[in-house]
Structure 1
């Protein structure tokens, strides 16, 4: 009887133990962040999509380069959330889009600023964050010397240089920019800035699962199923609206 009870307890305990997946993450508020509610809206979507498939996410927060390298080498199962690229397709299974991202050129309201194609930006004092990709046309123009871009260690620094008149424009994801302006800048400072309505680049961000981890191809299929379930429920739209509405009003 004791043996049967022990076997039942072990079997029941194993049944209760959820599957887990280890994912790396970084700091990019309001999408991602160790100290944000739900670790950011993108993390929340990833976590809840996996939960619908009975999988628990264990987050590991690192600087961006280390986060990607850890996942690529199979030290963790994957990384959230990243742009799709041919190089990443070689190293990762790439999910359906988790969130969309649109980069816009932020500038001072009292300065006339217009552009329709990247060549129009020639002669402008532009900034950019180190290692950020602002689209093929922009990157090629920078590499060839057609654009002079001052690469900076932080996006906050870039916006402050625009405010100070030291840069004509700085590209940022609009939602990230609004969040940063809301949390780090005064109302008076925010009122001095605007952005051009033409996006510099528009992309989707994805969950990456390492090709070096056995079972990750099937795991990605399950994630995509959970993500579609979450979208169908309306929660993805709800979560994105929750972060955008107060920020846009404050701007």
Structure 2
């Protein structure tokens, strides 16, 4: 009898431990996300601490973005962080309350100013972009119908290099990501050559997504949202964002 009770206790304990962990996919997008970053990036930190307030530990698995999304979509991982929401993702996932804001701006050289109000004003410019990035419905449509000439690059760092070399006129990037990349991989002299248009190309929110294919995720997203609200109300999210945004500048 004691052996039976011990086995039952171990099984209950294992089930409880499993219930207190969530396995999520992640990718590389400093300073928001990154395997080698402190706390795996600011967005990862927010997700993990929001879950922790609900007694749940996050296990991160890092993959290229397409695979990270696919694994979560199929239910091979509980979910993935962090993403723009759209109709398809709302269909496949439970989408959380906003984790962080993201605003894309048009970066350009200081010696090549631009003036624009909508994407059609960009016609005639050599525009850069990164493979797989969505720059908003108006931009994507103008690119698709040929109204804009967009040269997609393998990644955002290549795009900034192309901009500095004068091979493109503008390159859209999330401002926080751009500032971080410019400070990590470019010299002060290179940074001093660049600026950005004050009008955002798109402003959105980024979200944790939990797969609808995984049982229990409807309840789990509700718990996450509760923890996220607690974390935001504590002022810690604003504090963490300030830590990565405050030092960033294009000044040499």
Q: TM-score range by the shorter chain?
A: over 0.9
Change in Cα spacing, 1:151 to 1:19, as seen in structure 2 (3 Å) is same
Gap regions ≥5 residues in structure 1: none
Partner of 2:113: 112
Q: Structure 1: how far apart are the matches of 2:196 and 2:247?
A: 18
| 3-state SS of paired residue (1:194) | strand
Partner of 1:103: 104
Partner of 1:30: 31
Partner of 1:213: 214
Contact 1:182 1:250 in 2 (8 A): no
Q: CA RMSD in A?
A: 2.1
Gap regions ≥5 residues in structure 2: none
Contact 2:95 2:209 in 1 (8 A): yes
| 3-state SS of paired residue (2:203) | strand
Q: How does 1:161-172 map to 2 (within 5 A)?
A: 161-172=162-173
Partner of 2:179: 178
Does residue 151 (structure 1) correspond to residue 159 (structure 2)? The answer is no
Q: Structure 2: how far apart are the matches of 1:90 and 1:249?
A: 40
Q: Structure 1: how far apart are the matches of 2:77 and 2:129?
A: 30
Q: How does 1:85-104 map to 2 (within 5 A)?
A: 85-104=86-105
Does residue 76 (structure 1) correspond to residue 80 (structure 2)? The answer is no
Tell me which stretches of 4 or more aligned residues in structure 1 moved more than 4 Å. 5-16
Change in Cα spacing, 1:148 to 1:65, as seen in structure 2 (3 Å) is same
| 3-state SS of paired residue (1:167) | coil
| 3-state SS of paired residue (1:157) | helix
Post-superposition CA distance 1:21-50 (Å, at most 9, x none): 010000000000000000000000000000
Q: CA deviation at 1:112?
A: 2.2
| 3-state SS of paired residue (2:80) | strand
Q: Structure 1: how far apart are the matches of 2:74 and 2:9?
A: 37
Q: How does 1:219-234 map to 2 (within 5 A)?
A: 219-234=220-235
Q: Structure 2: how far apart are the matches of 1:133 and 1:107?
A: 19
Change in Cα spacing, 1:169 to 1:14, as seen in structure 2 (3 Å) is same
Q: Structure 2: how far apart are the matches of 1:89 and 1:7?
A: 41
Partner of 1:247: 248
Post-superposition CA distance 1:57-103 (Å, at most 9, x none): 00000000000000000000000000000010110000000000000
